[in-house]
Amino acid sequence: MFRTIPIGNREVFLIAIIQRLECKSCGLIRQEHLHFAEERKSYTRSLKRYILELSKIGTIKDVTDHLKVSWDLVKEVQKEHLQKHYSSPNLERVQHIAIDEFAVKKGHEHMTVVLDLDTGIIIFQNNRSLKKN
C-alpha cells in the first residue's frame, strides 16, 4: 500500500501487488521496479514532490496537518532532498571562507562550520564532543 497525493481533503492510497524476482544463478531475490515509488518507501514519488512544494510555502506542521502524515515522513523527504542536492558543494569557485566554532552544549559539544563567504553556502560542518577527564 502506497500513500499518494490527496484528493481534496481525502487521503488516497494505492494498493499494488509487487512481484518478487529470483535470480536462478545466484539465488538473489529482488522486488520488481516500480515507476511510481522508490524502493523501500511507502509513498509515491508524486507525494514526495508535493511535500517538497508545500515545504516552500509552509512549516512542517502545516504540511503534516494538510496531508495528514507524520512529522517524520516530511522530515525524511526534506532530508533526502537536501542530501541529494546540497551534500557535495562545488568548491572550484570558492575564494573566501569563514570558519566558526561554537559551543552547542556548554563545555560539552562543539560545532565547526566552514562557509563560502561570497555565496553563504556551508561547505563543511562537524559536531564533536569534548570529554573531561
Three cell numbers, residue 65: 496537518
Question: Where do we find the cell 559551543?
Answer: 103
CA dihedral sign, ordered 86, 90, 96, 99: positive
C-alpha span between 110 and 130 (Å, rounded): 8
Cβ atoms 113, 99 nearer than 8 A: yes
Q: Provide the pLDDT for residue 90.
A: 80
Q: What is the CA radius of gyration of the chain?
A: 21
- How far, in whole angstroms, is CA 127 from its chain's centroid? 19
Q: List the chain pLDDT tens, one digit each, 133 residues.
A: 999 999 988 999 999 998 889 999 998 998 888 899 988 899 999 999 999 999 999 999 999 999 999 999 999 999 999 888 877 778 888 999 999 988 877 767 888 899 999 988 888 888 766 555 4
